[in-house]
Amino acid sequence: METINHYVNGTTLECRSGRAHPVYNPATGEQAAEVGLAGVEEVDAAVASSRAAFEEWRHTSLAARTKLMHSFRNLVEANAAEIAERLTAEHGKVHADALGEVARGLENIEYACGIADLLKGSFNSQAATGVDVHTVRQPLGVVAGITPFNFPAMVPLWMIPNAVACGNTFVLKPSERDPSAPRFVAELFFEAGFPPGVLNVVNGDKVAVDRLLTHPDIAAVSFVGSTPIARYVHEAATASGKRVQALGGAKNHMVVLPDADIDLAADSAVSAAYGSAGERCMAVSVVVAVGDSADPLVDAIKVRMDKLRIGPGDDPDAEMGPLITREHRDRVAGYIGAGEAEGATVVVDGRHAAFDGDGFFLGVSLLDHVTADMSVYRDEIFGPVLCVVRSDSYREAVDLIAGNPWGNGAAIFTRDGGAARQFQLDADAGMVGINVPIPVPVAYHSFGGWKGSLFGDMHMYGPEGVRFFTKAKAITTRWPDPADSTVDLGFPRNR
Ligand code: NAD
């Protein structure tokens, strides 16, 4: 059985802890490999490598960094299909979804190709007589990224391009459940010509994470994962004096007003709820059907669900693949029964879908008449289960979103421009979609939720990513009096 090892100093570092985690092919249910879980010693080796690389890397010219970033971008684009195959093999998402993940990652590399412009400081001439003031942004040092299973290539690419383009060196701790794609991306990074140590990859679990959170040479931690771990990472790393951005879980609401285009809303709800088997932090998990929209909307969603093709991610006809593990599939299935017991109407029951083999498949589910006190509403299910909450008014829908402990994304479907504009102001969430169900911002805006969806001050990637990975330095300069100059300038002093 293949053991997936760490990647430190531009080469493979074998796992020495004696601990390993199984990596499955979720479509077959078989173990495909194992990944070594780092102990403190291996994390320390990765951090030491990044620490050693930092001094030279931080002084590498913007022109040279930009050139390397372009090469990396081209290699990721050229190898998109292979990255996507690895994503499908270990995560289970269908190939088209996996290619979409690579495309969103590429956007972030392209953004970082503009680092020369992004790192421009600011300047004031003559703040006092003969005195100028300017501000520059400098790298932090060695920064760490800890990433979740659901976007094993894209989320590391939310972090690495901006971090290294800003002059930092980076230690990545990817999810232990699907480590091959980030490992391959790291290989491409070095093929592009980046010096050893600028990026290191250590695989691991809590042991590795805890070492990164307290390591004295780690300046900042960028985390994406579930809310309880995000909260923990934020508390532990800030207590160690580090800068932290920790993105957590979600329960995204899609409000459908009575005037909405029901076909568009139903198409959007189905793709946003069941795409990638609902294992997306921006998945729609609650449809809030306002007034008369509810009955036609539930009917239209059900019709579409009946046609959805579920199968292995490498089957070109499949639109939804399996879940990440057997345990997670069973946990998600448990919510369907819980919702029913708590009084929801099960319109479509994914537990009844039959599949060949032992893959971690589950059919798609739709629960209607869900209320805010039910566990299916309160918990992040992270699977192909869509809840419909019926609401009497726009105001009730907005209040429901405000009362929810998460605030990643929120969407509204309506033809009314005034209502849509009001929703932009009212929605208690960090990212809002108007007739767009999954409002993931493009790479030149930043990504981040509110409330339990983000701990820290700065959002991920885009302009806030550049701010997160740099610290500002203001420099005040007094210039010599021109009267003292050996060159006759022909003007009085500092005029
Ligand atoms: P997770 O929190 O279980 O794991 C995330 C990372 O933390 C992994 O690298 C994992 O090894 C590590 N980790 C897990 N348990 C830990 C512990 N006890 N101590 C220290 N480290 C630990 O999340 P996941 O299941 O891999 O990913 C799914 C979750 O991520 C969902 O909640 C989803 O909403 C969230 N997510 C959020 C965003 C966002 O942008 N807000 C994006 C993607 C995923």
> 299 C-alpha to center of ligand 1: Å?
34
Question: What is the position in ligand 1's atom list of the atom closest to the CA of 447?
Answer: 40
Tell me the residue length of the chain.
495
Question: What is the position in ligand 1's atom list of the atom closest to the CA of 281?
Answer: 34
* Cβ–Cβ under 8 Å, residues 331 and 316: no
Ligand 1 pocket check for 222: Cβ under 6 Å: no
> 4 C-alpha to center of ligand 1: Å?
20
Ligand 1 pocket check for 146: Cβ under 6 Å: yes
Question: What is the position in ligand 1's atom list of the atom closest to the CA of 247?
Answer: 41
pLDDT at 494: 57
Annotation marks residue 15 as catalytic: no
Return the residue whose CA atom lies nearest to atom 20 of ligand 1.
206
* Cβ–Cβ under 8 Å, residues 394 and 293: no
Ligand 1 pocket check for 245: Cβ under 6 Å: no
Mutate to test the pocket of ligand 1, among 101, 175, 203, 212 (most ligand atoms within 8 A of CB): 175
Closest CA to 344 of 371, 365, 362, 364: 371
pLDDT at 495: 53
pTM of the full structure: 0.97
User: Which residue among 15, 113, 166, 281 is the active-site one?
Assistant: 281
> 1 C-alpha to center of ligand 1: Å?
26
Cβ partners under 8 Å of residue 157, min gap 6: 76, 104, 105, 106, 108, 109, 185
- Retrieve residue 334's tokens: 């448990």
Tens-digit pLDDT profile for the chain (495 aa)? 899 999 999 999 999 999 999 999 999 999 999 999 999 999 999 999 999 999 999 999 999 999 999 999 999 999 999 999 999 999 999 999 999 999 999 999 999 999 999 999 999 999 998 899 999 999 999 999 999 999 999 999 999 999 999 999 999 999 999 999 999 999 999 999 999 999 999 999 999 999 999 999 999 999 999 999 999 999 999 999 999 999 999 999 999 999 999 999 999 999 999 999 999 999 999 999 999 999 999 999 999 999 999 999 999 999 999 999 999 999 999 999 999 999 999 999 999 999 999 999 999 999 999 999 999 999 999 999 999 999 999 999 999 999 999 999 999 999 999 999 999 999 999 999 999 999 999 999 999 999 999 999 999 999 999 999 999 999 999 988 777 778 877 766 555
Ligand 1 pocket check for 285: Cβ under 6 Å: no
pLDDT at 493: 59
Mutate to test the pocket of ligand 1, among 23, 91, 205 (most ligand atoms within 8 A of CB): 205
Ligand 1 pocket check for 416: Cβ under 6 Å: no
Estimate to the nearest angstrom the gap between the alpha carbon of 151 and the chain centroid: 7
Question: What is the position in ligand 1's atom list of the atom closest to the CA of 227?
Answer: 32
- Retrieve residue 153's tokens: 């290539």
Distance between CA atoms of residues 228 and 326, nearest Å: 22
Ligand 1 pocket check for 433: Cβ under 6 Å: no
> 124 C-alpha to center of ligand 1: Å?
44
Return the residue whose CA atom lies nearest to atom 30 of ligand 1.
225
> 149 C-alpha to center of ligand 1: Å?
7
Ligand 1 pocket check for 175: Cβ under 6 Å: yes
- Tell me: the pLDDT tens digits for 173-222? 999 999 999 999 999 999 999 999 999 999 999 999 999 999 999 999 99
> 144 C-alpha to center of ligand 1: Å?
15
Ligand 1 pocket check for 236: Cβ under 6 Å: no
Cβ partners under 8 Å of residue 26, min gap 6: 90, 91, 92, 321, 322, 323, 324, 325, 359, 360
**Dihedral sign of CA atoms 150, 156, 157, 163 in order:** positive
Estimate to the nearest angstrom the gap between the alpha carbon of 252 and the chain centroid: 15
Mutate to test the pocket of ligand 1, among 6, 229, 244 (most ligand atoms within 8 A of CB): 229
